Structure 1
């Protein structure tokens, strides 16, 4: 399972560093997308920083669940934006969200119960 986790985290890292970097760099398509969403360009910067930051967190010991949860949350937002505002297919966001769920599952031992004991 170690290698499955490495592979999935590698895929997520490539996808989110590319997408987040494009948002932070102000790639024209990203600027247009966030104009269409209508919440302002500050949200593009926030999303880009979150994506790049969480992609880095994927590689820090004990932070995989946190990173995958943050990335998964951005994919929930992406799916909603595609379904209700943007129009094109939300399939890539759904696939990335499912990969995030798989990473959370593989690293579920990082999730503590309310009493502070690790769950298996």
Structure 2
């Protein structure tokens, strides 16, 4: 009598790799947004530019929140430039941009300004989707 072996799984993970043109477009957007986040968004918060200080005083959560936000943006900007981190960084930045939009609308009283972070959030969701292999790889690395 022979034993019946369990059937092999027919679902296998298919790696997602964008085509060459899409990869070039993604890297162009990632580099531009990464540099923007590092230079124009994180640096003013971390170095205490007057406008950033004033905005965070209006929010009323203290100086620690300005530094925290600056560090999150700095980490996200760097993450967009590191191939293994692009997907996870884009996910984190998507969440950050939703929070920024809500802050603009409700804490700073400038609902018209909420559209810029929302548009960036959509771009970050697109990057995260296109770089989902790096998200899967990071999740597998963390689960070990």
State the TM-score bracket (shorter-chain normalisation).
0.7 to 0.9
Tell me what 1:49 maps to.
71
Partner SS for 1:39: coil
1:4 aligns with 2:25: yes
Aligned pairs for 1:34-113 within 5 A: 34-88=56-110, 89-112=113-136
Gaps in structure 1 of 5+ consecutive residues:
none
1:13 aligns with 2:34: yes
Cα deviations across residues 22-61 of structure 1 (Å, max 9, x unaligned)? 1001001111111111111101001101111221111222
Provide the rounded CA distance (Å) in 1 between the counterparts of 2:109 and 2:36: 21
**TM-score (structure 1 length as normaliser):** 0.87
Provide the rounded CA distance (Å) in 2 between the counterparts of 1:73 and 1:56: 16
Provide the rounded CA distance (Å) in 1 between the counterparts of 2:106 and 2:91: 23
**TM-score (structure 2 length as normaliser):** 0.73
Provide the rounded CA distance (Å) in 1 between the counterparts of 2:76 and 2:124: 11
Provide the rounded CA distance (Å) in 2 between the counterparts of 1:53 and 1:29: 21
Pairwise CA RMSD of aligned residues?
1.6
Number of residue equivalences: 114
**Larger-Rg structure:** 2
User: Post-superposition, which runs of at least 4 consecutive aligned residues in structure 1 deviate over 4 A?
Assistant: none
Shift of 1:72: 1.4
Provide the rounded CA distance (Å) in 2 between the counterparts of 1:111 and 1:31: 34
Shift of 1:106: 1.1
